[in-house]
Amino acid sequence: MPFDTWILFCVSAFFSAASPGPSVVHAMKLAGNNGFRRATASIIGNTFSIIIICAVASAGLAMLALDGPSFFLVKLLGALYLIYSGVKTFLAADEELIGKDGRKKTYMACMLEAILISVTNPKIFVFIASFFPQFLSKKYDAATQLVVMTLTFSFFTSATLIAYSLFAALMYKKKLARVFLNKGSGIALILFGGFMLVQ
């Protein structure tokens, strides 16, 4: 991949990763309720998912695996899960979300939740499958270029999630800010789920 093409890819990847989505909302919710350390579970889970999704999409399997009924089923499950998570977050008491009621989620549970949110969103597969080929050069090995793009995109995904989480972590000790963040996160997740259903 030519250096100037990679720079262009970096700019495009940054703006794509920085656009708020369900994964950003999940990471911010964890950071706002339990501090930045707990949000790293979401960041790691999401980054792991992105690497897997990029690998699958780069292999040209995304369009085949998510065609027709399969695409609809994955989209439906993903949308319903987002709506469920949104309603649960919106209705939960502050003490429940920060774990003071003795039911604090484990680190692994938060990570698995982040992975589930990512892999049940078929639009990520379709986006990457159509986005990456735009930057491929016939002069270079395709597999090497796809690995570079996967690592680059994963880096920007992680970096933006870290930035959003650090911002949300500032609200960690302020109950009013946490309530605002949780209600907003709940509404956002419900809207993301609803948007997936109608698309």
pLDDT along the chain (199 residues), means of 10: 88 81 85 86 92 80 54 71 76 58 73 88 74 81 87 92 88 68 74 75
pTM of the shown model: 0.73
- What pLDDT does 59 receive? 72
Q: Are 192 and 25 in contact (CB under 8 A)?
A: yes
Are 27 and 111 in contact by the 8 Å Cβ rule? The answer is no
Dihedral sign (CA 165, 116, 62, 71)? negative
pLDDT of residue 198: 75
Nearest by Cα to 99 from 167, 177, 35: 35
- The per-residue pLDDT for 101 is 42
Cβ neighbours for 11, distance < 8 A, ≥ 6 positions apart: none
**What integer pLDDT is reported at residue 67 of this predicted model?**
55
Q: Provide CB contacts within 8 A for 13, sequence distance 6+.
A: 149, 152, 153, 156
Residue 174 has what DSSP assignment? -
Taking the C-alpha atoms of residue 24 and residue 31, their distance in angstroms, rounded to an integer, is: 11
Nearest to 163 by CA among 36, 77, 13: 36
35's CB contacts (< 8 A; 6+ apart) are 169, 172
Cβ–Cβ contacts within 10 Å for residue 132, how many? Answer: 20
- Half-sphere exposure (CA, 13 Å, Cβ side) for 54? 22
**Are the CB atoms for 149 and 132 separated by under 8 Å?**
yes
